[in-house]
Amino acid sequence: MPFPGPLLRSLLYGIAVALVAFALLTWTLLTKDVRAVLIPRLPALVVVALLAGAAGSLMAWRRLDDAQRWPSRFVHALERLRALGPSLRIAQTDGLPAQVEDSFNLVAAEWQAERTQRQAAIDHATQALATERDLFAAVLGELPNAVIACHDTGQILLYTPRAMELLNTHAPDSYLGLGRTIFSLFRRSAILHGLERMNRAAESASPSARVLLATREGALFHARFTPLHRGRASGFFLALEPTQAAPSEAADTEARIDHRRRLGKLRAAAEILHDAPDLSEAERQRFIAIIDEESRGLAEALPRQNDPQWPLEDTSAETLLALTRDAVAAVTHQAVHVADPPALWLRCETFSLLAILRDYASRIAAEGASALRLEIVEELSQPQLCLGWNPAVVLPPDVWRRWQHSVLDSPGSRLPLSPIEIVRAHGGEIWQQSSDAGACLTLRMRASEPTEHDRDAHAAVPVWDVAAPLVHADPLDHPLRALSFTVLDTETTGLDPSGGDEIIAIGAIHIVNGRILSREVFESLVASTRRIDPAAQQLHGIDAQMLQGQPSLAEVLPRLARFCEDTVLVGHNLAFDRRFLELAGDRSGVRLQQPGLDTLLLSQLLYPQAGAHKLEALAERLHVPVLGRHTALGDAILTAEILLRLIPMLEGRGYGTLRQALDAAAAVPLARLKY
């Protein structure tokens, strides 16, 4: 038996002192005669008294020890319950009072019943999900089309037998398997381009995109990208059809010779009919038959203008310029000036065209081209995409001819086709030229007149009129979901705004009525004389050369302020971005003074036990795909997606208004961060 604790020891000492005091008091009250009788028996009486006192103390000790120790035994029982689960029951041998024992076992039984019920619900839902999955797989198995279903990451989730058959026939070295990545089958650049086109169409009635895909072995397929779900897609469908490449050079040359032969016969027959009016009727009919035969043959031999071999789509000039700007900037590492797009539509396959422009731009950039510019103009009712630059250097004639007829094989532009084949498949022309004003590459294409459905599908989201009267003049006491937000992010030369680091890129996007408006974006590089810290450059990839010719922060800030008017600012670690903007505002006089929500603080508010609150960690926690990381606009879009998922959680915690959310966020430890 363990030695009693301090409380029990003090109690026992008190009992002993009381007994001794009682014995002394009793002795003093006895008469002399009684004392004389007891004195000879005193040793025995003392021994008996001590034994009785010891026995009583021991009994009291045991009773008091049990009363003191049952709470610790109860805590131990709770720890066992947590470790072993609700099936644990305690008995009298555990040393707990009967009432505590009954209550403990009752709570454990209720917990076990609740867990059993919850597990049954989970099993039912799992079974229903498995049934839906099997049904979906069965439906896909019966489809005559070649369809591959992929996760956002590119992991293959399902595929139809036709897809396996198609790839085995046209790309036997490719392996289609569950759990593999789609990037192992097709060129990564083509897949990413298709996803970008699909995402650009995400707000349309038909959010899909057609792209020409090439396998790593060079086989070509028409592909249609379609999201698995409307809105923020969790994956995508890839529907494949086989295609043939544009005619080879040898076949094309042979076709042109045949065309000239037929045209020669037509011209000769027509000249004879014109110059020999005295021909007999039989001879005249013979020449007319020659004209009819050769014209029919020529009509059949000439390729149709709307050749179905290529997945041409109606694309707005605005979209094509934006795609071309990003592609050229990526390979030249230079900013590209884009002229205002005309209200034109073009019929084209964007991936192959971008492969041409990307490859050519990398070549002329190596020759020293800079000050890149893009525009689309209309000449004789035909649109022309012009990529211009300075100084006036172009590829030498022999290099130009070789490039036109060589298969595209540079990184990011690999296609088993030559530029001239791609251009001819589009029914267009391509040439380079130079002048005193500079040089340019011109690509002439076919215009198109989209249907009303196409116009709706590509229509820009209406821009919020910041000059209109505000519905809520003071947003603090209005619901979060009723507010308009500007989600922004910056890239900087370093991490020390007070030490002189500067903003070199700003990206922002609007959220209105709980919807991210992908057409309402603000994006700008910013000129800076500050040296870019190597660690920062490694993250965002912006170097000093890319900032040459860009507007200063004093020029950018007024435009940003107008973009942010009548909205609530949002950012991840917004205090960092605001500090840079405040210091710049002190110099320029332009300040963003509206309230701001910081998703970093909201993360700590909603997940106080989480160890990490970085943007990637928060996105993973909320199952938001991370794309375009460490670009100002890419991070702003990611933060916007996160905010839309945080708002219902804030409402569930009682932070339904902007004021409530701001007050709660200001109380978390990370709110004490200063820059």
Model confidence at 176: pLDDT above 80:
no
Q: Which amino acid type is present at position 603?
A: S
Confidence of residue 455 (pLDDT cuts 50, 70, 90): very low
pLDDT of 86 reads: 78
pLDDT digits (tens, 9 = 90+) for 513-523: 788 877 678 88
Give the Cα separation of 216 and 173 in Å (integer).
9
Sheet of 515-525, strand order: 515-525, 503-512, 485-492, 568-571, 596-598
Q: Which helix (H) or strand (E) holds 324?
A: helix 317-332
Q: Which amino acid type is present at position 125?
A: A
Residue with tokens 């900032």: 547
Confidence of residue 463 (pLDDT cuts 50, 70, 90): very low
Give the Cα separation of 269 and 292 in Å (integer).
10
pLDDT of 527 reads: 93
Q: What is the CATH number of domain 314-456?
A: 3.30.565.10
Better-scored residue on pLDDT, 254 or 46: 46
In 3D, which of 625, 612, 634, 610 has the Cα closest to residue 539? 634
Number of other residues whose CB lies within 10 A of the CB of residue 557: 23
Model confidence at 489: pLDDT above 90:
yes
Model confidence at 456: pLDDT above 50:
no
Give the Cα separation of 87 and 535 in Å (integer).
55
Number of other residues whose CB lies within 10 A of the CB of residue 463: 11
pLDDT of 118 reads: 84
Measured in degrees and rounded to the nearest 5, phi and psi for residue 181 equal: -95, 145
Residue with tokens 């065309």: 259
β-bridge mates for residue 159, sequence order: 148
Structure tokens at 174: 């490719």
In 3D, which of 528, 664, 524, 535 has the Cα closest to residue 605? 664
- The predicted model gives 464-472 an average pLDDT of 36
Q: What is the CATH number of domain 143-242?
A: 3.30.450.20
pLDDT of 519 reads: 63
Q: Which amino acid type is present at position 108?
A: A
Model confidence at 222: pLDDT above 60:
yes
Model confidence at 136: pLDDT above 70:
no
Structure tokens at 669: 């430890």
Give the Cα separation of 479 and 129 in Å (integer).
35
- The predicted model gives 41-59 an average pLDDT of 69
Kindly state the percentage of the chain with pLDDT values over 90.
14
Q: Are strands 313-316 and 235-242 parallel, antiparallel or unpaired?
A: unpaired
Better-scored residue on pLDDT, 562 or 532: 532
- Going by the DSSP 8-state scheme, the letter that residue 479 receives in this structure is B
- The predicted model gives 284-313 an average pLDDT of 62
Kindly state the percentage of the chain with pLDDT values over 70.
73
Model confidence at 260: pLDDT above 90:
no
Classify 541 in phi/psi space as left (phi over 0), alpha (psi -120 to 50) or beta.
left
User: Where in the chain are the domains?
Assistant: 6-84, 143-242, 249-301, 314-456, 475-672
pLDDT of 515 reads: 80
In 3D, which of 569, 567, 549 has the Cα closest to residue 490? 569
Give the Cα separation of 578 and 563 in Å (integer).
16
Q: Are strands 429-435 and 313-316 parallel, antiparallel or unpaired?
A: unpaired
β-bridge mates for residue 378, sequence order: 383
Better-scored residue on pLDDT, 121 or 284: 121
Q: Which helix (H) or strand (E) holds 214?
A: strand 209-214
Better-scored residue on pLDDT, 154 or 513: 154
Model confidence at 2: pLDDT above 60:
no
Least confident of 31-45, 159-173, 360-374: 31-45
Model confidence at 305: pLDDT above 50:
no
pLDDT of 10 reads: 63
Structure tokens at 117: 């019920």
Q: Which helix (H) or strand (E) holds 236?
A: strand 235-242
Give the Cα separation of 23 and 98 in Å (integer).
40
Give the Cα separation of 200 and 31 in Å (integer).
114
Residue with tokens 């989730």: 157
Confidence of residue 658 (pLDDT cuts 50, 70, 90): very high
- The predicted model gives 417-443 an average pLDDT of 84
Residue 216 CA to chain centroid, in angstroms? Answer: 26
Better-scored residue on pLDDT, 79 or 124: 124
Confidence of residue 586 (pLDDT cuts 50, 70, 90): confident
Confidence of residue 300 (pLDDT cuts 50, 70, 90): low
**How big is the CA angle at 372 (ends 433 and 366), to the nearest 5 degrees?**
75
Give the Cα separation of 363 and 331 in Å (integer).
10
Pick the CATH number of 475-672 from 3.10.580.10, 3.30.420.10, 2.30.30.90, 3.40.1380.20: 3.30.420.10
In 3D, which of 441, 445, 392, 401 has the Cα closest to residue 422? 445
Model confidence at 246: pLDDT above 50:
no
Do 564 and 488 form a contact (C-beta atoms < 8 A)?
A: yes
Better-scored residue on pLDDT, 656 or 300: 656
pLDDT of 459 reads: 36
Least confident of 186-190, 236-240, 382-386, 495-499: 186-190
Structure tokens at 111: 């917990």
Q: Does the annotation count 453 as an active-site position?
A: no
Question: Of the listed 151, 170, 472, 630, which one is catalytic?
Answer: 630
Give the Cα separation of 362 and 410 in Å (integer).
9
Give the Cα separation of 529 and 504 in Å (integer).
10
- Average pLDDT of the chain to the nearest whole number: 77
pLDDT of 141 reads: 62
Model confidence at 579: pLDDT above 80:
yes
Confidence of residue 605 (pLDDT cuts 50, 70, 90): very high
